[in-house]
């Protein structure tokens, strides 16, 4: 599945129409290649935000997006805050990023705030792989990850504790990845 196909499939799973003027955000956009494909998902009247942590990756993202033109806004993020404007996103996507979070409760609360009521959060990630810990393990992540990766059950537990409703729980995505989709409730929690 290429980036364009993945964006179309995420639009379907998130129930945010492809090309319908939505505001989409990619957390941990890296080089911006997937965020670029999200322009098709957002449509001509929509917007795309691409977040990345401060530093060299963010600078590379900004340079790449400025060379390509388009309506993607690079956003500086931190381990605890996405940098996204409150209540503006129809969908937020994370691809192989969630397992790097060192402060999941703060990130979850921030993402919930960035979504419009009824907005979707899609987490595409992979379960822990023991062999990856031989080469790298994200620094400072909670011990409940079980290695490099994150179990879908942990993602569900952390995001539902923050107030998200789970719609798809760890469904196969591609290769060894799963996708979980969560939704911000239409009405505030009591």
Digit-coded pLDDT (tens) for 11-67: 999 999 888 899 999 999 988 889 888 888 998 888 999 999 878 888 888 887 776
Q: State pLDDT tens for residues 52-97.
A: 987 888 888 888 777 666 678 888 888 889 999 999 999 999 999 9
Q: Which CATH number goes with the domain that contains 140?
A: 3.40.50.150
Residue 38, burial from CB neighbour count under 10 angstroms (0-12, 13-18, 19+): buried
Please give the residue range of the domain that contains residue 91: 3-183
The residue ranking higher by pLDDT, 30 or 113, is 113
Domain annotation covers residue 188: no
- Quickly count: other Cβ atoms within 10 Å of residue 100's Cβ: 18
pTM equals 0.91
Residue 189 lies in a domain: no
CB-CB contact of 96 with 124 (8 Å) = yes
Residue 76 lies in a domain: yes
Residue 89 lies in a domain: yes
| Tally of domains in the chain | 1
């Amino acid at each position: 599945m290429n980036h364009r196909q993945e964006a179309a499939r995420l639009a379907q799973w998130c129930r945010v129409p492809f090309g319908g003027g939505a505001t989409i955000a990619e957390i941990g956009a890296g080089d911006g290649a997937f965020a670029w494909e999200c322009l098709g998902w957002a449509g001509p009247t929509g917007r795309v935000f691409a977040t990345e942590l401060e530093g060299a990756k963010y600078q590379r993202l900004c340079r790449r997006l400025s060379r390509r033109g388009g309506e993607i806004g690079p956003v500086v993020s931190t381990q605890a805050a996405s940098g996204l404007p409150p209540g503006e996103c129809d969908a937020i996507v994370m691809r192989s990023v969630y397992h790097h979070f060192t402060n999941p409760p703060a990130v979850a609360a921030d993402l919930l705030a960035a979504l419009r009521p009824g907005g979707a959060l899609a987490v595409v990630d992979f379960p822990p792989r023991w062999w990856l810990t031989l080469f790298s393990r994200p620094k400072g992540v909670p011990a409940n990850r079980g290695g490099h990766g994150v179990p879908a059950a942990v993602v569900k537990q952390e995001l539902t504790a923050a107030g998200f409703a789970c719609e798809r729980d760890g469904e196969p995505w591609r290769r060894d990845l799963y996708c979980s989709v969560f939704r911000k409730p239409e009405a505030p929690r009591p």
